[in-house]
Amino acid sequence: MKFHLRLSDIAAIIGASIEGDAGLIVTGVAPLEHARSSDISFLARREFVPYAERTSAGAVITAPELAHHLPHTVHRLLHSAPEHAVADLLDYLVASSKVEGGAIHHTASIAPSSTLAKSVRVAAGVVIGEHCRIGEDVEIGINAVIEDNVTIGERTVIGAGAIVCRDCIVGADCRVGPGAVIGSEGFGYLEMKDGSYRRLHHVGNVAIEDGVDVGANTCIDRALLGSTIIKRGVKIDNLVHIAHNVVIGENSALAAQAGIAGSTVVGQRNRIGGQAGLTGHTVTCDDVIIGAQAGVSKSITEPGQYSGTPAQELSRRLRSEAALRRLVELLPLLETLLQKSVPKQTDQLRDEQD
């Protein structure tokens, strides 16, 4: 992303103080190890100090206690929370780059019965079905498909190639990544006597509340009946699968390749690590952290950290693993004791027979 800003402008945007030339012009943002003299970067954590000591960046946003690690040639923007300062700068740059006003590409196909706000931006190849309602400042990316009876709230972004299936609801200020599918058929079948399967038609929908992010190629299945619900503020990574009739509580976060089976209820502020799986019809309470690759087969009723398969409370699992390691260390001693005791028992048996 290219821009043209004085250091004084950036300081005003993020609320930082300047050590250096306030009139310095920067034209890009880059990581410490790749930044050039025309770029601004940031240093927020001590583990990145080795990169900071060698950086060629023109300016760096950093905390006062880390500033001395930067070369003397680097201009500094001092802020108590550098990561938040960078987030403010990126918000400003993205907002500045947006094209104002609505625009509909001539290759888009929009059903006459649908209602789009004047500020909606629709890219090439988009298809919008019947009776849809699209709010102000919505962006719909290339080749995205919005099926019949879909509602999309204000300022939401639908990525290229994403599909929002019939009857689904996406709230305001959401982001649906490229290739994501909202409202696909759930995995529901009846097993027949001959071993075959009869498909259950899923006639529910997906209801996504405000401020939700859905990653690229993530799939959220529609409910069999009722709604699969993603509550306010949830953040979902790429390649996540959420099955039918699941409820994800407010401000929870799911990392890549996590899988949530049908009718599971995830509490508020849960953190679910990459490749973790929750079996169907389980419930997690609020404030639960589930580690990467964990397997949750039973409901979790107490807040805390859980890991492993089957998932256990973290401190308990660590004690179990420590005990197992200790047992392995004791095995040679146990074998030695057994070898010593067997001859004695043999001698005793022989004496009794005599």
Which of the residues are catalytic? 244
How many other CB atoms are found less than 10 A from the CB of residue 88?
18
Residue 35 CB partners (closer than 8 Å, separation 6+): 41, 55, 56, 57, 58
Q: Residue 137 phi/psi, 5° resolution?
A: 60, 20
Closest CA to 291 of 278, 269, 270, 274: 274
Q: Do 128 and 147 meet the contact criterion of CB atoms below 8 Å apart?
A: no
Spatial separation of the C-alpha atoms in residues 164 and 180, rounded to whole Å:
8
| DSSP category for residue 53 | H
Closest CA to 180 of 144, 140, 149: 144
Spatial separation of the C-alpha atoms in residues 229 and 196, rounded to whole Å:
31
Place of tokens 């200020």: 173
User: Following DSSP, what letter does each residue of 235-281 receive, concatenated?
Assistant: EE-TT-EE-TT-EE-TT-EE-TT-EE-TT-EE-TT-EE-TT-EE-TT
Closest CA to 300 of 288, 292, 309, 291: 288
**Coil, helix or strand for 52?**
helix
Q: Residue 138 phi/psi, 5° resolution?
A: -75, 140
| DSSP category for residue 182 | E
Q: Do 96 and 32 meet the contact criterion of CB atoms below 8 Å apart?
A: no
Residue 173 CB partners (closer than 8 Å, separation 6+): 153, 154, 155, 156, 210, 211
